[in-house]
């Protein structure tokens, strides 16, 4: 149930300005150029584009509008919950991640007029559950993006955290390969070239 | 006409990695927090979200998938052509802008497999021509975003360039008001509050 139009506009602008903070949430990986670490807002843009351009290689038919919107929305909770490193093995960090992200979704999507807030919440829930073709596809693209950036950048983040080629494959392959097998094959070839060049540890 | 699937995958990944450079194209305006200037990739993400959340206030019906994809794609040419300041009055800069952007579109969208490259080119051309409801809507949102950020940030960029309240209105109102009148009214109220607080010059 929405309030007056002007209340809805005010709520919409408040949300628009609040999510500006996603530009200041840093991720672990660097840009392809190595100049600095990536932030979550620009990562989300890159995923939206990736969802558009990788669609021809997807194994399941996906609704592109849903996938692109999901890519843009799926990390907004990091404004409150922070970015959890993909290779984290901290039991505490992983255990608290869901509770932190649920609270973040309540607060952030709750800033929007109710109908729009529900739409964002539904997209985020769908992504988190991972049970639809669109959620599986966006999750594959979300794993693909930092894997590619880390590979071409020279593996700095992986070296910082002692992540080997085999762990990269074990962590990402199960999400990417079923959804985007041809893209996975090419990413793997690039990873192996980086390993052969001594940029990625092999044991 | 596409090449083999693996050639198309390689072309797609080359484009994905090339557009990473958009994260290093700086705009004039600052983030809401004032911590630094905004880059074009994160701006494009913010526009994609804005296209989603402002749709209920649009005067013309818009196809949301087209609008969101257009928002994500419309500034990719800045990788080669750079960001042209919205208030630029440099005749040389404005005269060369179109040629620089057309060459950028040829090179960048030309990296994609032909069918996808054409799709990106069509979205960009549609935005540039400004003749469809989606193009007018994305243009309105594209003017709204930096106006809001500059207003809440405290007007640093406008002060740097001697931009007064009246010039902000003259530059942005004709694009925003017809497409998003209720949002424009609220943005104007915020601008006037900033002017009353001495953050935006009134003459």
**Closest CA–CA distance from residue A165 to any residue of chain B (Å):** 20
Which of these, B58, B78, B77, B186, lies nearest to B132 by C-alpha position? Answer: B58
Give the model's pLDDT for residue A1.
47
Give the model's pLDDT for residue B2.
56
- Number of other CB atoms surrounding residue A121 within 10 Å: 17
Contact check, Cβ <8 Å, B42/A38: no
The tokens describing A62, both together, are 């996906």
Sign (positive or negative) of CA dihedral A202, B5, B11, B12 = negative
Chain B interface disruption, residue of A2, A41, A55, most B CBs within 10 A: A41
Give the model's pLDDT for residue A2.
56
Q: Which of B20, B54, B69 sits opposite A31 (nearest CB)?
A: B20
Q: Is the pLDDT of residue A157 over 90?
A: yes
Residues with pLDDT less than 50, chain B:
1
Distance CA A98, CA A104 (A): 10
Residues from chain A contacting residue B22 (CB–CB below 8 Å) = 42, 45
The mean predicted confidence, pLDDT, of chain A is 95
Q: Residue A154's Cα: distance from chain center in Å?
A: 21
Size of interface A-B (CB pairs under 8 A): 161
- Number of other CB atoms surrounding residue B5 within 10 Å: 13
Q: Give, for B38, the enclosing helix (H) or strand (E).
A: strand B37-39
Q: Which of B42, B183, B190 sits opposite A39 (nearest CB)?
A: B42
Distance CA B124, CA B120 (A): 6
**Closest CA–CA distance from residue B92 to any residue of chain A (Å):** 31
Q: Place A158 in a pLDDT band, splitting at 50, 70 and 90.
A: very high
Share of chain A above pLDDT 90, in %: 88
The tokens describing B30, both together, are 């600052």
If phi > 0 it is left, if psi is from -120 to 50 it is alpha, else beta; for residue B154 that is left
Give the model's pLDDT for residue B1.
47
Distance CA B25, CA A196 (A): 32
Give the model's pLDDT for residue B95.
81
Give the model's pLDDT for residue B175.
96
Name the closest residue on chain B to residue A30, using Cα atoms.
Answer: B20
More confident residue, B64 or A87: B64
Which of these, B30, B52, B101, B44, lies nearest to A46 by C-alpha position? Answer: B44
- Give, in degrees to the nearest 5, the angle at Cα B29 between B137 and B71: 25
3-state secondary structure B96-157: HHHHHHHHHHHHHHCCCCHHHHHHHHHHHHHHHHCCCHHHHHHHHHHHHHHHHHHHHHCCHH
Give the model's pLDDT for residue B159.
94
Residues from chain A contacting residue B151 (CB–CB below 8 Å) = none
Query: Mind listing the pLDDT tens digit for each residue in B26-68?
Result: 999 999 999 999 999 999 999 999 999 999 999 999 999 999 9
Chain A interface disruption, residue of B72, B76, B147, most A CBs within 10 A: B72
Contact check, Cβ <8 Å, A68/B64: no
Q: Residue B138's Cα: distance from chain center in Å?
A: 8
Give the model's pLDDT for residue B3.
63
Q: Is the pLDDT of residue A160 over 90?
A: yes
Q: Beta A26-30 vs B37-39: how paired, if at all?
A: unpaired
Name the closest residue on chain B to residue A33, using Cα atoms.
Answer: B21
Average pLDDT in the A167-187 region?
97
């Amino acid at each position: 149930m929405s309030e007056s139009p002007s209340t809805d506009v005010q709520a919409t602008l408040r949300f628009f300005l609040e999510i500006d903070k996603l530009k200041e949430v840093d991720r672990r990986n660097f840009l392809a150029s190595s100049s600095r670490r990536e932030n979550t807002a620009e990562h989300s843009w890159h995923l939206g584009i990736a969802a558009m351009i990788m669609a021809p290689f997807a194994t399941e038919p996906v609704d592109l509008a849903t996938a692109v919107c999901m890519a843009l929305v799926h990390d907004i909770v990091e404004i409150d919950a922070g970015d959890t490193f993909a290779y984290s093995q901290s039991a505490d960090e992983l255990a608290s991640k869901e509770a932190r992200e649920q609270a973040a979704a309540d607060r952030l999507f709750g800033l929007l007029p109710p109908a729009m807030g529900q739409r964002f919440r539904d997209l985020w829930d769908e992504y988190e559950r991972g049970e639809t073709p669109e959620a599986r596809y966006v999750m594959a693209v979300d794993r693909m993006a930092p894997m590619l950036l880390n590979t071409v950048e020279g593996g700095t983040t992986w070296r910082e955290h002692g992540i080997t080629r085999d762990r990269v494959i074990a962590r990402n392959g199960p999400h990417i390969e079923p959804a985007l097998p041809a893209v996975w094959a090419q990413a793997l070839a690039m990873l192996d070239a980086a390993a052969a060049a001594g940029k990625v540890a092999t044991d």
